[in-house]
Amino acid sequence: MHLRRIIVSNFKNIAQTELEFSPKFNSILGDNGEGKTNLLDAVYYLSVTKSFFNAPDRFVIRRGEERMALNGTFVVDEEEQIAISVDSNGQKLLKRNMKPYSRISDYIGLVPTVMVSPFDSELVNDSGEMRRRFMNVILFQTDRSYLTSLQAYNRLLLQRNSLLRSQDPSDELLLTLSEQLSALADGIFKARKALCEQFGKPLAEFYSGISGGKENVSLEYKSQLFKAPMLDLMKESLGRDKMMQYTTTGIQRDDMEFLMDGFSIRRFGSQGQQKSFLIALKLAEFSLMRDHYGFAPVLLLDDIFDRLDAGRVEELIKLVASDRFGQIFITDSNRERIDSVVGASGADNAAFMVKAGNFERI
């Protein structure tokens, strides 16, 4: 599977461009701030209907414009055309081969995509919200029922929190909402638990390949639901919830812990070790999605040369140039460096130069 062509209109700083890509390596060159990352984000948005950087939809529309549109031609067994547009009012329209979709859950997963970015450092350094989002995006693309369940859970959670903020909330109504939340939480918990268990082997293998196998890495899923069923937890926390005026237990507090030789990589890992771990984590994500779909997702590598030393970059390129990987997009500001690395792979490739959101094939 690969993206053959993309048409971008009014996405971030890209006014209008139409590009044809190589089915293997695509190098995007240019100075910082010119639009390299924005093109990768357009490909990602076309896949999951959201910016990789978690920006509200109105912020991906080019300044001064009322609407943005993306159109991609993908080749799986045959050509498929998918399109997405968003206007300044937040109205989103999704189409496949000119046929509109009524539900986002039916659209996400058509074109699986994995992005590796400096923004990934937030997975290690920021709150559990980022790590939950990481799990969610993978499960959105591999399990359509998961997105539906999570959307329903979040709607009920808003209702329960609103009720808790009201004067003298009804215990009976709170119990009803707790029962409904608990029924949904069980499936979400099981999906996240299974996902984290699947990460173990590929995460360790990719980290070893990038770093030389000096340390052992792993991850652990953290959830209050390991202690007891959610409904029991919510009954126990009812008094605290009323005092705090929000729901203090549930899968909305789930997290992941990243470990190196059994210790927190956030606390004890060097910057180089953290960077290698995050790339291995994303490649493990790629591996799980490839196994699920039966073909390789599109891999977007943003600014990896400034994140790793030369030796680790060389090992990474060897990995992604292998047959287990498919189409790859890679950004850099140094043409000689990227030509050397991509050229050494011997794979089919295309290169593009960008300046102020304007792209030219070189």
Q: What tens digit of pLDDT does each residue of 349-362 get?
A: 899 999 999 999 99
Residues 101-149 pLDDT 10s: 878 888 888 889 999 998 999 999 988 999 999 999 999 999 989 999 9
Domain architecture of the chain: domains with CATH: 1-112+297-362 (3.40.50.300)
Can you list the positions of beta strands (E) in 289-345? 298-301, 328-332
Q: Which residue has the higher pLDDT, 109 or 34?
A: 34
What are φ and ψ of residue 331, in 5° steps? -105, 150
Locate 204 and state its tokens: 């360790």
pLDDT, position 307: 65
The tokens describing 296, both together, are: 């390789």
Pairing of strands 113-116, 298-301: parallel
Burial class of 15 by CB neighbour count within 10 A (0 to 12, 13 to 18, 19+): middle
Contact 79, 29 (CB under 8 A): no
Query: What percentage of the chain reaches a pLDDT higher than 70?
Result: 99
Q: What is the pLDDT of residue 345?
A: 72
Mind listing the pLDDT tens digit for each residue in 217-261? 999 999 999 999 999 999 999 999 999 999 999 999 999 999 999
CB crowding 156-178: b at 16 or more within 10 Å, else e: bbeebbebbeeeebeeeebeebb
Tens digits of per-residue pLDDT, 78-98? Answer: 899 999 999 999 899 999 999
Q: What pLDDT score does 199 carry?
A: 96
Residue pLDDT, tens place only, 325-346: 899 999 998 888 888 777 777 7
Q: Is 234 exposed, middle or buried (0-12, 13-18, 19+ CB in 10 A)?
A: buried
Confidence of residue 31 (pLDDT cuts 50, 70, 90): very high
User: Could you tell me the pTM of the whole model?
Assistant: 0.90
Neighbour-count burial for 313-324, b at 16+ CB within 10 Å, e otherwise: bebbbebbbeee
Cα distances (Å, whole numbers) of residue 137 to 45, 47, 105: 12, 11, 12
